[in-house]
A and B are shown apart, each in its own frame.
Chain A
């Protein structure tokens, strides 16, 4: 993953652990007081800036919309932009400055997590570092994930989710992680990886990395998101799922999410301009209430149904509704940004609120991994918590 990059560092970060790591892996970075401005999204991917933490890094995932069920995961804004080049990536239309930026001051990030835990000592937090980038793609250069994994190992209220399309796990395998970090992969069939997820690790490498993470005792997260429609999707997705569960046991998978390709209408043209050979924007799509284009619902239902059947078969279970009491082999399943009626159509039920789904995560994890979750607060507490978006 360590392709040639220009690396800059804010002088305030020059003594940080990140700076040491950068020096070891890539030599001395250039000191600058502001991350260099890059307007072109691709050239930004060749520049890395180590920055101080600016403003609040801890937040709730921004994709919440009233019409869609959201899981209330928290995000730590510790990374901006990504060296990979997925055709569907929303960052190509989102960032004002495309220079890749990584917060060097991991202590300040950790303090924010601690403070969130102190403010809500009753709840379980799932926290991801992937909102604006890939959690592990720059790990060889920055060592940021390593520092966070070590810190959350001592935080019984936290599951840190490191979501990636890379195979960059070697440097975190020996850490004392206490199973508090979930290493997640966003997975698609090999053809989609080849044709749409440019510069990411290939399918086999991701599977191998997954196996290494399981062998090192980590819990795994799986995200079949964005699911992409193409000629052979019907054969390829079930095969993908079968392959994964032949590689790793389902009892080490903490959660699985499912979602389909979605993007803002303006981004369609951006994708066409940046990836002239892609075909993904020509499918049958409509604009949903959240202003994003998605496959039409009948198609989404078809696609999800196939994947759900494959997951059920692989986990040897009749139901994967998160509302049901789980067996140790059944990961928590949820849809990412799907409508309440899609849940009901495919699982027979839907969480009654965003707080409910958040609570289900805590319950599920406690049930399957009792040594990792002590008490689970009441559903009412999750539903009325200030940071929980309300379904109106």
Chain B
């Protein structure tokens, strides 16, 4: 595992893309096929299945470090990462092993069928999960322990996008980047394939569930006027749901989310499309909650995401459908290289023929000049849309986030000026600073908390607020400090809804600190009435 840990350290130490790619290429050039395959799997979030419950790991780690469990948990809360907490907490030791990455992964996989911690009579036989994990921790140095823990627990963000990894792999293998990204999509697992099968010999046609890489748009950077002739562009609404790909091949349906997750089971309503669409169809669209000819807010869709079982009640409460944006495959033929207008007209035909109430076409927004679109964008919220999408009529369907043919043009966020009243230390990246803030608006001369907001400040501003919090603490409740009501921030958010789960009765979508209103004294911040007005308009 030494070279994998070395790779991880290099990737972690640099923010520069070129250096990351170079480190990956060096690593791929000098690694066994087994390790290469596992590295690709890990970097595309396909780590081995969990074989030890994290509750047990926490217990064992705390005991090995000689601290009570509550102290372990407090430390974990501050560090923000379980694998890291366990790695740091363990007594520091020299590395004394020479297993490769795939050997360690096999070691983790083999834990699966062992007893958890009931030790048999001979205790050094390493027959239980507990004995083996403790043995492993004692073989590894701090960084290796972290990597090992990450392999056991998951949720790993190494700071390498799939795009970068694919670029490095292309350099290493000599296979073209777009071909590789398609090969790496879908349902494969390192446990059941080989590097050769996946990368070298791969034939996507084998894999009937395999999706295409999504084409993602950047936010528009210029005045749309500068995009030139309106005739070459089309506009549609940017719907606020889950971007997804709907695949029908060999009489089977597959639904993928943009996060490359197979979510077919979560949306049983689409099953009827297996018959309504011809085999060899791949549609790119937005899954949204929708009822009586009207999109419902994102919060409705949210109520069914994350649930293990999709009950009848949920299906009724939050019915969904797909709004089709694009057509990537027709009759089994990949048409991503065809121009947008062609794909669009084929898509229109297909949606019409399907005659399904679960598949709608994304209606084009008519416009004669750019001013028309400025108006259309302004009324996005009334349509429950996030803004507009502009697409070049001759553009191809690209891989990943690319500039040029597609632009998203989101509506400006809603904003409200609020007073900072509570602060908590951040964790993870912000562990040493007060960065978790709660904001309030006025109700008479009382401040009513209504939202938390985290991001949006520069590092310099974060330091200033941190210093303010430390010097103006009025009271402490555990980790929370209440501070003097003095700082005012403009809070921006994408949507607002009534919520019984929140004390204030409102839930904001994507609240963030938009601006520090140093010009405003606290008594000029907005009121609860102002918030109610927004709720009535947009809730």
A and B assemble together: no
